[in-house]
Structure 1
Amino acid sequence: MDKAFQLSWKSIHREGDELTVEKDHVFHRNFHYNYPLIEKAEGIYLYDESGQQYMDASSGAVAVSVGHGNKEIIEAVAKQAEKVAFVHTLRFETEIQHHLSRLIASIAPDTLDTVYFTSGGAEANESAFKLARQYHIGHGKQKKTKIMSHWNSYHGNTMWTLSAGGDNNRRSLYEAELHEGTVHVLPPYRRGRPSSEGMTPEEFGEACLKEIEETIIREDPETISAFIVEPITGSQIAALVPPDNYLKGIRKLCQTYDILMIADEVMTGFGRTGEMFAVDHWQVVPDIITFAKGVSSAYLPLGGMIVSDGIVKVIKEEWDGKFAHGFTFSGHPLSLAAAKANIEYILKHDLVKKAKRQGEYLNGQLRKLAETWSFTGEVRGKGLLAGFEMVKDQMSNMAFESEFQAAEKFNALSLKNGAVLYPGQGQVKGEKFDHILLGPPLTITTQEIDKLITILEQNCSEFSELIKSTV
């Protein structure tokens, strides 16, 4: 492990048994962190150059849904490469584009059956914002320009998606450049809401929806184009599941005020939460679903949006069939081939139901963990998207000081002990809080979950000692 950390800063070449270290040319995500060099990945495990094994308990960035080294996906990509590796979709289309679109439409919620491809989630959400704008102009509603979203949400790192997102840590450096036409509301999250104490989930959901409607009216409904929402919040509040009436309430508000509802399923789509799409838990049909990550299990970059018939109708009739948007790599044949093989694998092996079943087991084991360690706060999630907060103690629910970096320290222990987690630090009304997100491949077995829990137990034991040493 130490050797891997030491060498990861350098360009490394092997000549026989000799190791040659040269000047490093990589623009690292963090120049002050030494990254292990991963040489092999198989199933739910990663292996670095020293042989250290890491359980990929976060599927990368909650993306590698079917695990690493899937032969069916690899062979499908190679086969497509032999036929055609690239065409520009401004001029041509491919057979795989039609096959995958038909497959995605067949598993999407009712009336969502037209698919537009991008290279990733940020591009997908940016595309959805532009499509919403063009849709409203087609209806003669020029003033509809604003995008609504939640604080503590994440929708991408382009300037528009960063503006719509609610991660203050990411937004702060670019505050002057962020789009003014974004409107934020608080998420359905009780932290920072002392008035919610004693409310039932339904009452809390209604209170949150009332705040949203008041915001819509204050901003003027005639100026709001779309409301983008993560059905289950991912990296910013670690698998926060809303009250059962919440998404249905947003859907109703959007219909009442002629606002398009965009469900950001970049992290939750394609079986992750125990349904094919997270909105299916509440039988909500948005106007647009955006996706990425799990669509191809990250074997190749791919994202996109699934669009409702009503929006497509406006583009066809009011815009001469043209969406004023596009990317060079939209509909890249190799990415589409990876996605088709990936979805077929998920369906063939019934991984959506498995995610639900294994998720219930994982969530139950995490709750047992929380009963033992006082610094593990609320446990939540659906399917194999699970999370827990890290707090000073469960009784007060008080957050650790932000400088302590509790989640990062916990993940560092986890890496040492052989598992990769997804740490995060959110903020509500100025109060920062730490959390851990888990999203292992949908192929994980019960025995592998038990192994993960054993690693988490070890993490907790060592973290407890760390806390004692800093008091």
Structure 2
Amino acid sequence: MVNEQIEDYVFHRDFSKTYPIITHGKGIYLYDENGKRYMDACSGAVAANLGHGVEEIAEAMAFQAKKAAFVHTMRFETEVLFQLAEKIAKLAPQSLKKVYFTCGGSEANESAIKLARQYHKNAGRNDKHIVIGRWQSYHGNTFGSLSAGGDIKRRQTYTPNLLNFNHVHSPNCARCPYQREKEDCEYKQNWSCVRDFESVITEIGPDNISAFIAEPIVGSQLGAVSPPEVYFKEIRKICDKYNIVLIVDEVMTGFGRTGKDFGIQHFGIVPDIITFGKGVSAGYAPLAGMIVHDRIVDSLIENSKGKFVHGFTYSGHPVSVAAGLSALTIYEREGILKNVQVVGDYLKQQLFALKKRCPIIFDVRGEGLLLGIELAIDGERGTPFPEEFHASERINSIAMDLGAVFYPGSGSINGYLGDHLLISPPLTVTTGEIDEMVSILENSLKIYFEELKEEETYEITK
């Protein structure tokens, strides 16, 4: 219940909570006003990829702010805009060469949805407007991106306002929504998640479908679940067959997070649009955007006089773009990608070892430094915690008391059941810091397990 007396003027994310006030950060640590140190084991919201207190980025932002803090991209552009766009395009798969900037991932996905629609309309495919997304996915909180996403809890309040988009199940072999074994799908070369996608297309009618949007590795909603290796290759074929724009949401997975420049590079296909955010500026400034295939750009030039009917006041904001340029320079200079590969493998090994010691871990998954553990009342059988336990939130609360913060999530099984934690520290993390992180995680899980036993909940629910 909210206090009757207003004690501050902030519209808090949750008025039932009291939040620590962070005064500063350094490396992978944050410090509050009482001097308490928190290990940032989730890079904030999987965004602070270079950790905290990087003066080089702050100085680049200040330098740009002194030169030109703001220009409207309807009238002007800046040198840093061209420099960052070039760096990003050179990291992307072939034929994706044009970069459009926004402030956040929601805006990036909203832009991609609108661009796909304009692309079809310009070519005379006027009925193509529906986007197919996936359940247990997240693409943002604007109405368009929320409509495309499959986060049931976030969607519920706003259901009457959402667009009439369609959804298929996300591939999750550990919790297959089609009740199949991965080995059976591989043996028969018949994947239900792929077949279902094509079935939905034919039911709706291909002439009505504009785009398909998917995360290469599902982050917050499934806890770092990778699809079967063949999945995106088959999806690419189907999108080509029915002239559907394939949007790959790399807001969380881009810029080295999974051990490659972009997560889709694990799967060997070229999307039509890649959206990005978070790591592009390492969290130092609001920055995101989309990388667009030449084919779509060429169509825009040919059929719409080169104009995208869309835009934001702060698109290509010079100070944010300067932060991104500085961050990408550091990624390259410091060999961040290699560190992710080495330290990510080490972290995964430690989490698998922890699973053997902890009876409430059901699964360990993910790539690079986007890793997740799925929690269960019975880790061996995978029996999920009851929804009302809020298990992942409680474990993260314990961890914060012990000095680390993870990224809790729920609803990974059916939108309601299924708890997980993302472990996604800054990409600069060391093996020594990983050891400290896993130790705090293990102690947090032990404390929660003891709470269950004390309440006589564990045996009853198990």
Q: How much does 1:470 deviate? A: 2.1
**Equivalent-residue separation in structure 2 for 1:68 and 1:124 (angstroms):** 25
Instruction: Verify: 1:304 aligned to 2:308, yes or no.
Output: no
Provide runs of 4+ in structure 1 moved above 3 Å.
200-205, 427-431
1:61 match: 45
Q: How much does 1:415 deviate? A: 0.2
Residue of structure 1 aligned with 2:179, choices 195, 200, 203: 195
Instruction: Verify: 1:425 aligned to 2:410, yes or no.
Output: yes
Residue of structure 2 aligned with 1:206, choices 182, 191, 199: 191
- Name the SS for the 1:117 alignment partner: strand
1:289 match: 274
Question: Which one-letter code corresponds to 1:49 in the other structure?
Answer: E
**Equivalent-residue separation in structure 1 for 2:419 and 2:304 (angstroms):** 47
2:459 match: none
2:90 match: 106
- Name the SS for the 2:76 alignment partner: coil
Moved more, 189-198 or 359-368: 189-198
Residue of structure 2 aligned with 1:28, choices 9, 12, 16: 12
Q: How much does 1:327 deviate? A: 0.2
Contact 2:146 2:155 in 1 (8 A): yes
Instruction: Verify: 1:125 aligned to 2:117, yes or no.
Output: no
Contact 1:202 1:245 in 2 (8 A): no
C-alpha deviations, 1:207-263, integer Å up to 9, x for none?
211111111111111111000000000000000011100111111111111000000
Q: How much does 1:431 deviate? A: 5.3
Structure 1 pair 403–192 and aligned structure 2 pair: CA distance change class (3 A): farther
C-alpha deviations, 1:22-64, integer Å up to 9, x for none?
9311100000101000001110000000111000000000000
C-alpha deviations, 1:394-419, integer Å up to 9, x for none?
23211000001000110011001110
**Equivalent-residue separation in structure 2 for 1:111 and 1:194 (angstroms):** 35
**Equivalent-residue separation in structure 1 for 2:450 and 2:435 (angstroms):** 23
Instruction: Verify: 1:462 aligned to 2:447, yes or no.
Output: yes
Instruction: Verify: 1:374 aligned to 2:355, yes or no.
Output: no
Moved more, 428-437 or 222-231: 428-437
Contact 1:205 1:245 in 2 (8 A): no
Q: How much does 1:287 deviate? A: 0.3
Structure 1 pair 385–427 and aligned structure 2 pair: CA distance change class (3 A): closer
**Equivalent-residue separation in structure 1 for 2:27 and 2:381 (angstroms):** 40
**Equivalent-residue separation in structure 2 for 1:269 and 1:334 (angstroms):** 21
**Equivalent-residue separation in structure 2 for 1:192 and 1:431 (angstroms):** 16
**Equivalent-residue separation in structure 2 for 1:425 and 1:119 (angstroms):** 27
RMSD of aligned alpha carbons: 1.5
Instruction: Verify: 1:330 aligned to 2:286, yes or no.
Output: no
1:23-422 equivalences under 5 Å are 23-180=7-164, 182-190=165-173, 191=175, 193=177, 195-197=179-181, 199-200=183-184, 202=186, 206-422=191-407
**Equivalent-residue separation in structure 2 for 1:118 and 1:293 (angstroms):** 11
Q: How much does 1:429 deviate? A: 4.1
Contact 2:222 2:412 in 1 (8 A): no
Question: Which one-letter code corresponds to 1:452 in the other structure?
Answer: M
Residue of structure 2 aligned with 1:435, choices 416, 420, 424: 420
Question: Which one-letter code corresponds to 1:132 in the other structure?
Answer: A
Contact 2:410 2:416 in 1 (8 A): no
Question: Which one-letter code corresponds to 1:238 in the other structure?
Answer: G
Structure 1 pair 361–409 and aligned structure 2 pair: CA distance change class (3 A): same
Contact 2:169 2:177 in 1 (8 A): no
Q: How much does 1:65 deviate? A: 0.5
Contact 1:202 1:243 in 2 (8 A): no
Question: Which one-letter code corresponds to 1:80 in the other structure?
Answer: Q
Aligned length: 451
C-alpha deviations, 1:131-161, integer Å up to 9, x for none?
0000001111001000011100000000111
The gaps in structure 2 that reach 5 residues or longer are 457-462
Structure 1 pair 161–205 and aligned structure 2 pair: CA distance change class (3 A): farther
Report the TM-score when normalising by structure 2: 0.95
- Name the SS for the 1:93 alignment partner: coil
Moved more, 327-336 or 99-108: 99-108
Report the TM-score when normalising by structure 1: 0.93
**Equivalent-residue separation in structure 2 for 1:142 and 1:449 (angstroms):** 52
